[in-house]
Amino acid sequence: MTREEALSLGKAVAPTQPSMQRRMRSHDYHRAGFYMLTLVVRDRQPLFGSLQGCLNAVPGVSEPPHVVPSPLGRAILEEEILKVHRYYPMVDVWRLCLMPDHLHIILRVTDDLPAGKHLGHVVAGFKSGCNKAYWRLSQMASPPRPGLFEEGYNDKILIHEGQLDTWKRYLIDNPRRLLVKRQHPGLFTILRELTVEGEVCQAVGNHFLLDIPDKMAVIVHRRYTDVENERLRAEWLACGERGGVLVSAAISPKEKAVLRESFNRGHRIILLRENGFPPLYKPSGESFYACAQGLLLELSPWPYHNDRRVITRLQCLHLNALAERLAGR
């Protein structure tokens, strides 16, 4: 039963926590390991610095995208972040990315934290120091209430070695992604009430893809033979090559494989999602740049939720039917 169904029947539903306050329940946060943390300034105020540079920088003439720290940003980089290792010698700040309104920090915990301490205590201490720096530099008569940061923080736990390089690349590329987003704001604006084929959907990306008449729905049924699958794959990719749009919920492995190949070829794609979009959502990874190039539209006929759900059969049928309607079939 979904959350909405439970509510409609008057059943009690446990409240879900925002992503910045959720932890992995099965993980022991006082143990050694690598963690990537994200801390966000309250109300997304750009207190840590300003974004400068250009996307097509010419050496000696212009600079690539980067953040120039404010006095508060410098205090965090030069003072507060150093205190983490001072108070917790087993915690090394492996990499830090200062953005105008948030921080990304990769921590390497080399040994278990002291008894009664866990990662949350490390973050709380760091936040407290940043709050004091903010208070001091702002010349306030009393500490700011509420504090500098939003409540909670987001953490990612290193599961395999390859993640570390991915995290590093993400932090290095963060200023460039922000500049891309600022230069193409319309492509990253969340549309909350876009009517698509009679349904009110949420959307992110190039909604003008809906106006392109040449669209095909990528849906692979279990009854299809290998010969049929290969014929359809060739037709779908041909549609992409001629500038058409592939529409799919990418549910089955074979659908995902077609969308991946189409994506790699730079085709236009409308991706249907089970979940909507949180307030500050933007596509991640390669999807971000596809969105910036106007090649991607993400659609969801349902609102955003925090629940950990498995897509139901009825939802799969609903999304596939929407894909077929969009493709004019």
Q: Return the closest-CA partner of residue 206 out of 128, 133, 273, 299.
A: 299
Q: Which of 184, 203, 201, 200 has the alpha carbon at shortest distance from 281?
A: 203
Position of tokens 């108070």?
Answer: 87
Amino acid in the structure at residue 249: A
Of the candidates 48, 47, 164, which has an alpha carbon nearest to the alpha carbon of residue 107?
164
pLDDT reading at 26 higher than 80: no
Q: What is the pTM of this model?
A: 0.79
Q: What local confidence, expressed as pLDDT, does residue 44 receive?
A: 94
Q: Write the DSSP string, 132-170.
A: HHHHHHHT-SS--SS-SBPSS-EEEE--STHHHHHHHHH
Tens of pLDDT along 78-120? 999 999 999 999 999 999 999 999 999 999 999 999 999 999 9
pLDDT surpasses 50 at 254 = yes
Q: What local confidence, expressed as pLDDT, does residue 144 receive? A: 67
pLDDT at 204: 96
| Structure confidence by residue, pLDDT tens digits, 300-319 | 999 999 888 889 999 999 99
For 315, list phi and psi in degrees, rounded to 5.
-65, -40
Task: Give the pLDDT of residue 160.
Answer: 87
pLDDT at position 22, please? 61
Cβ atoms of residues 254 and 281 within 8 Å: no
Check: CB of residue 85 under 8 Å from CB of residue 92.
Answer: yes
Average predicted confidence (pLDDT) for the chain: 90
127-132 mean pLDDT: 95
* pLDDT above 50: residue 193: yes
Q: Mean pLDDT, to the nearest integer, of 252-275?
A: 96
Residue 21: its pLDDT value, please?
Answer: 62
Q: Token pair for residue 107?
A: 């921590």
* DSSP category for residue 210: G
Given the DSSP bridges, would you call strands 199-205 and 215-217 parallel, antiparallel or unpaired?
Answer: unpaired
Is the pLDDT score of 179 beyond 70?
yes
Q: Which residue has the tokens 């030069």?
A: 78
Q: Which residue has the tokens 């959350």?
A: 3
